Structure 1
Amino acid sequence: MNAVDLNLLTALDVLLTERSVTSAARRLGLSPSAMSRTLARLRSATGDPLLVQAGRSLVPTPYAEQLVERVHVLARDARTVLTPTVESLDLASLDRTFTIRANEGFVTLFAAAIVTAITREAPLVRLRFAPKPDKDATPLREGTIDVEVGTQGVSAPEVRTLLLFRDRFIGVARLGHPLLDGAMTPQRYAACGHVVASRRGALTGPVDNALQELGLERKVIAVVPGFLDALTIARQSDLIALVPRSCLRNGEVAAQGLEGFGLPVSTPELTISVMWHPRLNADPAHRWFRQKLAAICQAMP
């Protein structure tokens, strides 16, 4: 098999159809001499003359006659396998489960809109939201999840990404908190007690780096696993929470008894993306799904 040249299969199919070196050469865009050399290679490979002279034309040998249909089917199938295909996607009949790995904040804010929009177009599709304890790319590589949502940073250079939205950290305090009455200065902000969200239990982050440049330091009282936990504590205490602005989307701030405010120091912007493994890049259903996720998230107020 190491010596097999699939180009010979196509050439043999054309030669057996045309039964003329000149006509076969014209169809394949070759010179007659190049086509003659190809026929010689075919004879050597098969151990049969295949086409022999009969007056001014070529006629197939008995072995070649036996090959006509088989070679035509093989050549057609080989071209099909090695030619890019364009699959039509029927969303009405798409029966598939998509698994999304995301933190609980994203699920709380976006899951309802995602489920509604996806099932409206593809009623047989099921969505599975999986917890996100870390940024390990193994589930993407092994196919146990379809996409991951979050800031870029999974440990796999091959992972593809598509922007969902941009975010920024803000401060959040309960309604009536003394910090909200007066100018929001770095000094007043740092002097408060704080609750931070960190899966790894980290006490500091970008806002602390910015405060440190001003000779200030926050007093972190509590560390919780997720942003929604931080909001719950901020609502019921005098602690200040640090969360992405998206946590207070959809006009729910007043109902939650919280008020968000811009930080008195600058912190880096957050880029929230959907990530997937390149083996699913060309899959029509997966392409539709990830593009739909982006459209839903970008349309949220």
Structure 2
Amino acid sequence: MADLRTFDLNLLIAFDLLMKERNVSRAAEKMFISQSAMSHVLQRLRQQLEDPLLVKTPAGMTPTPRALSLVAPVAAVLKEVEGLIRAPAPFDPANCRRAFNLAATDYVEALLLPKLAPHIARQAPGVDIHFKRTSSRFPLNALEQGEIDLILGFEVMLNPPKHLHCERLFDDYMVCVARIGHPLVNAGLTLEDYIDLPHILVSRTGASTGQVDSWLAEHGRERRVALTVSHFLSASLIVAQTDMVMAFPKRTAEQFAQTLPLQLAPLPLDLPHYDTVMIWHPLQDQDPANCWLRAEIRAACAALDH
């Protein structure tokens, strides 16, 4: 009796050709093997299926009733298996109907969406993009469960696990942002003058200190944080109307300075540049839709410097 654990499934391919050709020599040519090898394959099929399958008659090789009953099921199995192993069809953004979920900060949203959203609207009108604020903890479970497709943000803040794919998109650095006409802020801003100013801290987690405070503490200094807010937008509106200042990523600060009376000055602190990265799970690395979205994000980021 045939047993699936010991049955050579490759024999089904030979069976399909033998039934189509009903000739060992022609079936051998289609499989690119010798006639003797195909005869051996036929013998193995007969043993495995416990049936002659093809019998010599005056009219040629004739299938047995058992063989005829297997023709359609075997052809269906082979077709299904071929579909399973075939490479997925290329992603077609124009006809795609799906939503992507991205975890990102409002900093990334403000920079990326003005470049990304119009292009996707033109190229993939059925694609929806949902940006979600990243939590204070890295959203690993949501990424592993497919609830989030990509994570975008500062690498130093996200600190992604090593097993995830992480790609650098661009870098940025902090500047001092103040209202135009501020009496103390200019290109020659000193550390002493900077510390004496009232500061706004943007903290999405509600923390009372940030990167600037950490640097100052390491150097035995301290500043006064007069106001803590959770969003860059509200902070920039307040800075534009008061003598408070804030440390702000240069790229976003330049955006806000286009519409608000704000000026940028070098920060009198030696803070590092920050890499903005794109993170995805290895399970999604070869997914055509995820590959397409990552390419679109790369293109949008490249356009930031043009």
Given residue 244 of structure 1, which amino acid in structure 2 is its aligned partner?
P
Instruction: Deviation per CA, 1:126-169: give whole Å up to 9, x if none.
Output: 33333333331333333334333223437655544454432222
CA deviation string 1:171-200 (max 9, x = no partner): 212223344246233343334333222233
C-alpha contact 1:186 1:264 (8 A) present in aligned 2: yes
* Alignment counterpart, residue 14 of structure 1, candidates 14, 17, 32: 17
How large is the RMSD of aligned CA atoms in angstroms? Answer: 3.4
Paired position in structure 2 for 1:137:
140
Correspondence for 1:166: 171
Q: CA deviation at 1:170?
A: 1.9
Amino acid at match of 2:221: L
The residue aligned with 1:246 is: 251
Letter in 2 for 1:131: R
Given that residues 177 and 253 in structure 2 are in contact (C-alpha distance below 8 angstroms), is that contact kept between their aligned partners in structure 1?
no
Instruction: State yes or no: 1:289 paired with 2:293.
Output: yes
Q: Which residue is equivalent to 2:228? A: 223
Higher mean displacement: 258-267 or 282-291: 282-291
Question: Is residue 2:237 matched to residue 1:264?
Answer: no
Distance in 2 (CA, whole Å) between partners of 1:15 and 1:22 is 9
Q: Distance in 1 between matches of 2:9 and 2:161?
A: 36
Residues 155 and 113 of structure 1: is their aligned pair in 2 closer, same or farther, counting only changes over 3 Å?
closer
Q: How does 1:84-99 map to 2 (within 5 A)?
A: 84-87=87-90, 89=92, 91=94, 93-99=95-101
Residue of structure 2 aligned with 1:232, choices 213, 230, 237: 237
Q: Give the whole-Å Cα distance in 2 for the aligned partners of 1:239 and 1:144.
A: 40
| Identical residues among aligned pairs (%) | 33
Contact conserved, 1:197 with 1:229, CA < 8 A, in 2?
no
Equivalent residue of 2:242, what SS?
coil
Structure 1, 8-17 or 280-289: larger mean CA deviation: 280-289
C-alpha contact 1:187 1:216 (8 A) present in aligned 2:
no
The one of 82, 85, 95 aligned to 2:85? 82
TM-score (norm 2): 0.78
Change (3 A) 1:225 1:12: same
Map of 2:206 onto structure 1: 201
Alpha-carbon distance in 2 for matches of 1:172, 1:38: 79
Question: SS where residue 300 of structure 1 aligns?
Answer: helix
Distance 2:280 2:194 in 1: 39
Residue pair 2:247, 2:267 contacting (<8 A) in 1 also: no
Aligned counterpart for 2:188 among listed residues 165, 183, 201 = 183
Q: 1:74 to 1:216 in 2, by over 3 A?
A: same
Alpha-carbon deviation of 1:290?
A: 3.1
SS of the residue 2:134 aligns to = coil
- Stretches of structure 1 lacking an aligned partner (at least 5 in a row): none
Kept in 1: contact 2:187–2:266 (CA 8 A): no
Pick closer, same or farther for the CA change 1:257–1:42 going to 2, 3 Å: same
- Say whether the 8 Å CA contact 1:174–1:234 is kept in structure 2: yes
Deviations 1:9-48 (A, max 9, x none): 2232233334455554554345666545543443333222
- What TM-score do you get using the length of structure 1 for normalisation? 0.80
Q: 1:36 to 1:204 in 2, by over 3 A?
A: farther
